[in-house]
Amino acid sequence: MKILICGKGGCGKSTITALLAQTMSREGYNVLVVDNDESNFGLHRQLGVELPEDFLNFFGGKKDLVERMKASFSTGEEVKFFDNRWEIADIPGEYVSRTDNISLMAVGKIHDFGEGCACPMGVLSKHLLKNIDAGSNDIVLVDTEAGIEHFGRGVEEGCDALLMVIDPSYESICLSEKISSLAEAAGKDLYYVLNRVEGESKTVLCEKVPDDRILATLPVMVSVFKAGLLGEQFDVDVPEVKEISDFLKDRK
């Protein structure tokens, strides 16, 4: 199963991704985390692994990929990235960091001033997710960049379901409506995780989001916040994240 995690900036996508990866790993699943956020340089710390080399480099780097994209535009043919279907074990080792049952790969990061946009990362992400076969004991979690550009690039095509993280803000509520319509157009099931909500904020969000699509409601967790602030590996069992894991297992 391949699950894409989305939401506005700062809502807790990477936190939920890391916690869910660790939870499902402890339950015996082989978890691949795909870091699809070109501006996030901290997810690997939450998972307790090294930052892997950009997967873009497998195809010659960003510059070469841009040239291939330009050539495809001129001919009208889609860029071909893979000759064969891949399983998680087929990902070249230099582009993956591993610990226990968790593997992390980063599609690509912005490293230099003026290097250009992140379009090549989006194109590669779409093809990567469509090409990976997830086995019965595999879970692929895709941590996306903030917002909805990945919908415009069709990254969701290769995923089985979408998980939107919503924090207590008007921006999240507005974005949830847009993402709901985009998910419907893509033919993908959309579920919600309410993050850092308590008391009145929980009441308000539950009124704005379809309650039959809410998988879990997470309170403010000081230990998680502190670990995230210090760039430390998460080391906590969160019952609400277990609820998400149980739902996904049943859905498989």
Question: Which of 207, 234, 202 shows the shortest CA–CA distance to 221?
Answer: 234
Q: Please give the share of the chain, as a percent, with pLDDT higher than 70.
A: 100
Q: What pLDDT digit, counting tens, does each position of 221-246 carry?
A: 999 999 989 989 998 889 999 999 99
Q: 173 by DSSP, 3-state: which? A: helix
Q: Is 60 exposed, middle or buried (0-12, 13-18, 19+ CB in 10 A)?
A: exposed
pLDDT of residue 12: 95
pLDDT band at 142 (very low <50, low <70, confident <90, very high): very high
Q: In degrees rounded to 5, what are phi and psi of residue 162?
A: -120, 140
pLDDT band at 187 (very low <50, low <70, confident <90, very high): very high
Domain harbouring 55, CATH code: 3.40.50.300
Count of domains for the chain: 1
Helix (H) or strand (E) segment spanning residue 206: helix 199-208
Domain limits for position 157: 2-251
pLDDT band at 112 (very low <50, low <70, confident <90, very high): confident
Q: 225: which 2 tokens?
A: 């916040």
Whether residue 114 has pLDDT greater than 90: no
